[in-house]
Amino acid sequence: MKLAFTVEYDGTDFSGFQRQKNAITIQEQLEIAIMEITGNPISINYSGRTDAGVHALSQVFDFETNLKREDNNWIKGINSNLPNTISVKEIHNVPDSFNSRFSAINRNYSYVIYNSSSKQLFFDKYSHRVSNTLDIEEMSRQIKMFIGEHDFSSFRSSSCNSMNPIKKVFKAEVKTFNKFIIISISANAFLQNMVRIMVGTILDISKNENNLSVSEIIEKKDRSFAGKTLPASGLFFLGPSYDSKLKIQSPVKNLLDRFKI
């Protein structure tokens, strides 16, 4: 049988999700925890490969097993072998054909900016502070230019190994709450560092540090015309969306609601 799980994590002290030879990753921690309760080495599928330092609220992973346990025992068993910064939240029985990555319809991210001239120590791990006065209306206008299917070559890292830079963005919006700015983007898939470069670009435009529009930068298909890659600390993977028939928990739609702010 195949089981799928939703998991949240603080990515600060991990070298991303995907297992690596000489670094501590989320995938490695999950597979070790699963092996502790199944007695067998397990290789998991996952919905999104988040980079080092990126957080997640509803990452989805799956694996096959012949071991039968109560749903609650699966969750408690895995969590008992995980560090406090990783927590499995939900379990789902899925068809054998299900794959966390390939069954996903879209993926959803939010980037958190703390817009203040004063430094707040306890926000550093989960946001990116910008001291400049930002033009929120201009940011909202520019971010809408990302919506649609485009070649996002201008918004990928130099080490990105994706064969296809064409992605489709379904939603891109800016919301504010007190001194926080939340930028949310939904797409069928993302290139490496794509969200962090997209947000860095609209920040530069709002600060008059880039005279091109987002549409013009997209047309350039050249990374040198886009903005800086922002730090990973402000980025949250809200989760993937699947066909409603699978009854897998929907991604977090609003980061502020998730934290009851």
User: What Å distances lie between residue 86 and 49, 117, 141, CA to CA?
Assistant: 15, 32, 36
Q: Tokens 């540090």, residue?
A: 209
Separation CA 214–CA 205 (nearest Å): 9
Find residue 88's DSSP bridge partners: 7
Q: Tokens 């599928």, residue?
A: 45
- End-to-end, the C-alpha distance of the chain in Å comes to 39
Stretch (H or E) spanning 184: strand 180-187
Please identify which of the residues 51, 71, 222, 243 carries the catalytic annotation.
51
Environment class of 225 (CB within 10 Å of its CB; exposed 0-12, middle 13-18, buried 19+): middle
Residue 51: active-site member:
yes
Collapsed DSSP state (helix, strand, coil) of residue 155: helix
Cβ of 89: how many Cβ atoms within 10 Å?
Answer: 14
Environment class of 72 (CB within 10 Å of its CB; exposed 0-12, middle 13-18, buried 19+): exposed
Catalytic residues: 51
